[in-house]
Amino acid sequence: MKLKNFIFGAGLLGLLAVITLLVVEHGEDEPFLWSPEFGKMRANLVLHGVRYARQAKDGDAVWDVDADIARFYQDRDVIEFDKVHIVLKDSQPVEIDADMGIYHLEAGDMELFGNVRVYSSQGYVLKTDSLRYIKKEGVVRSPDRAIMEGDNGSRLEGDGFIYYLKEHRLVMKRPVALIPEKEAGV
């Protein structure tokens, strides 16, 4: 038994010695192997492979968020998400994908950036570079080019939009619509 403990301890010390040599040879200015640059990370908590569910007061799920990485910043009262997927559980469910998201905890607002895709249960897909949900105003808006495509071949493009959630009303800046002939009755 003592021999096994000695061999294990010697192996562990050898491994630590190799890691120490790699760190010393590598230098302090460059990141070591796969490790993140901890000096640049200012988050209070970093989680990988996150699932977060927001529930209403009655306990029903309002929305779920899945993300590759979530970073909690206590001083800014925000959560940053990388590779985020959101499911809004409403009478007409919506799914959203984006490269990055920022959730403002106190206000309840959400910002999404990079390859934003919104999938409706009616078969529409909205594509844009950024999206912002403003809880207090009850709107979703984007200043960026937006393209909405239907599974029937219809297409609506514009230079930014605002969507009023309660009224289910979309206002698009400089809209251009493409409606297939069969849908237009031609």
* pLDDT for position 60: 59
Higher pLDDT, 49 or 63: 49
Q: Both 28 and 69 in a single domain? A: no
Residue 4 banded pLDDT, cuts 50, 70, 90 = very low
How many other CB atoms are there within 10 angstroms of residue 146's CB atom? 26
User: Is residue 140, in this structure, part of any structural domain at all?
Assistant: yes
User: Is residue 40, in this structure, part of any structural domain at all?
Assistant: no
What CATH number is given to the structural domain containing 80? 2.60.450.10
Q: What is the pLDDT of residues 150-167, one digit of tens each?
A: 888 888 899 998 988 888
Q: Both 70 and 118 in a single domain? A: yes
pTM (2 d.p.) = 0.69
User: Is residue 23, in this structure, part of any structural domain at all?
Assistant: yes
Q: What is the pLDDT of residues 97-121, one digit of tens each?
A: 999 999 998 888 899 999 999 998 8
Q: Both 17 and 97 in a single domain? A: no
Q: Both 106 and 177 in a single domain? A: yes
Work out the widest C-alpha separation in the chain, in whole angstroms.
89
Q: Both 79 and 1 in a single domain? A: no
User: Is residue 99, in this structure, part of any structural domain at all?
Assistant: yes
- What's the domain range around 6? 1-35
Q: Both 91 and 163 in a single domain? A: yes
Distance of CA 77 to the CA centre of its chain: 17
Q: What is the mean pLDDT of residues 55-65?
A: 71
CA atoms within 13 A on the CB side of 118: 23
Q: Both 73 and 110 in a single domain? A: yes
Q: Both 141 and 49 in a single domain? A: yes
- Does residue 141 surpass a pLDDT of 50? yes
- Split into its structural domains, the chain has a count of 2
Q: Both 90 and 6 in a single domain? A: no
Q: What is the mean pLDDT of residues 50-77?
A: 81
- Does residue 185 surpass a pLDDT of 60? no
How many other CB atoms are there within 10 angstroms of residue 183's CB atom? 11
